[in-house]
Amino acid sequence: MTLPINPPFPPMEAELVDEIPEGKKWQYEPKWDGFRCLVFRDGEQVKLQSKSGQPLERYFPEILDAFRQLKASKFIIDGEIAIPIEGKFSFDDLLQRIHPAQSRVLKLARETPAVFIAFDLLMEADGTLLTGQPLRLRRKRLERFARAQFQRGGSIRLSPVTTDASVAKRWFSRVGPDLDGIVAKQIDFPYASGKRAMQKVKRARTADCVVGGFRYAEKAKVVGSLLLGLYNDAGQLDHVGFCSGLTAAERKRLVVQLEDLIEPPGFTGRAPGGLSRWSTKRSMEWEPLRTQLVVEVSYDHFTGGRFRHGTRLLRWRPDKAPSQCRMDQIETTGAGSLALLAA
């Protein structure tokens, strides 16, 4: 590629904050529940780059085709790849694309096509590099580019924005758990590649979980992580994720307490340690516990019957009965973040 910047190019990132910042210097956008993606086009060459700098072309052939069909033959766009299912975005369906079999990827691309949500323009169609320009100018250029290039209702969409904090807060509350959060960007700032120059606010969610087991740390006989469970509608305890981030003192203290509670089966429904292409012998080893300990944890997302990432331990709940830790406490979906694209 003969562009002024080429992949791998680190995207601008966001710092996690507790509240949506307010003031005239901010622009607000929905935080979409997808894969960050930078798109580079130079003639017939189109590259899709992930946040970590990896190529995404083989996993999203329909997005690749959509950008090849645009009239502009040169541009660089920052955005998000997401998969809409029944008016909402599905991270589970997105994860299925990261699959080694190309035939499987092509089948999913036909059955559950992805969309690309554009939120920044880094290079215009005439080759003008915009990374050094303030966001207010880049947004105007992006809107002009979208009017000329994107088809209404097509697979490439323009992300909505607002400079009104009250509107951003309504987005945050109205869409509910279908939206991953709100991103705030300073309108006078240039594009800061690789730096946390934006702010993001994510929904605060908590759940009370049964500690159904634990794993030892890799290099010491101390607790490495707690394995969390929730009771399903059939009354079985399903493994839903893990909690780590314990202090060294907690790891030592807990191992004595938990070893006294080791007793199978721990989980009576879905158990941890199932074989997958990511698992190792070590990651499949765990100790089952009598189901009598309850913890409250914070989490950012729950999909496919489990916490997407590791959770953060808030406190132990000796006042809570394990039987009260049910799946129905997990937030249900809201109005559907896909609706914001049509707003």
Per-residue pLDDT of the chain (343 residues), as tens digits, is: 899 999 999 999 999 898 999 999 999 999 988 899 999 999 999 999 999 999 999 999 999 999 999 999 999 999 999 999 887 888 888 988 987 799 999 999 999 999 999 999 999 999 999 999 999 999 999 999 999 999 998 999 999 999 999 999 999 887 655 677 899 999 999 999 999 999 999 877 889 999 999 999 988 899 999 999 999 999 999 999 999 888 899 999 999 999 999 999 999 999 997 544 334 445 468 999 999 999 999 987 788 889 987 799 999 998 889 999 999 888 655 445 677 776 5
Q: Which of 31, 47, 88, 200 is catalytic?
A: 31
Note the pLDDT of residue 95: 85
Q: What is the pLDDT of residue 43?
A: 96
> Pick from 182, 214, 186: which is nearest to 200 by CA?
182
Domains recognised in the chain with CATH numbers = 13-203 (3.30.470.30), 205-329 (2.40.50.140)
Using the structure block, give the residue that is written with the tokens 């089948």: 107
Helices (H) and strands (E) in the chain, counts: 6, 19
Between CA 263 and CA 111, with CA 240 as vertex, the angle to 5 degrees is 140
Between the CA of residue 94 and those of 35, 83, 340, what are the distances in Å?
A: 8, 6, 19
For the question of residue 202 being annotated catalytic, the response is no
- Report the length, in residues, of the chain: 343
d(CA 250, CA 316): 12
DSSP β-bridge partners for residue 46: 41
For 151-180, the pLDDT digits (tens) are 998 999 999 999 999 999 999 887 655 677
Distance (Å, rounded) from C-alpha 55 to C-alpha 226?
34
What is the model's pLDDT at position 277?
38
Residue/partner pairs of 92-99 with CB below 8 Å, 24 or more apart = 92/303, 92/304, 94/34, 94/35, 97/59, 97/60, 98/59, 99/59
Q: What is the pLDDT of residues 10-34, one digit of tens each?
A: 999 999 898 999 999 999 999 988 8
pTM of the predicted structure, to 2 decimals: 0.77
Residue that the structure tokens 């009017």 belong to: 147
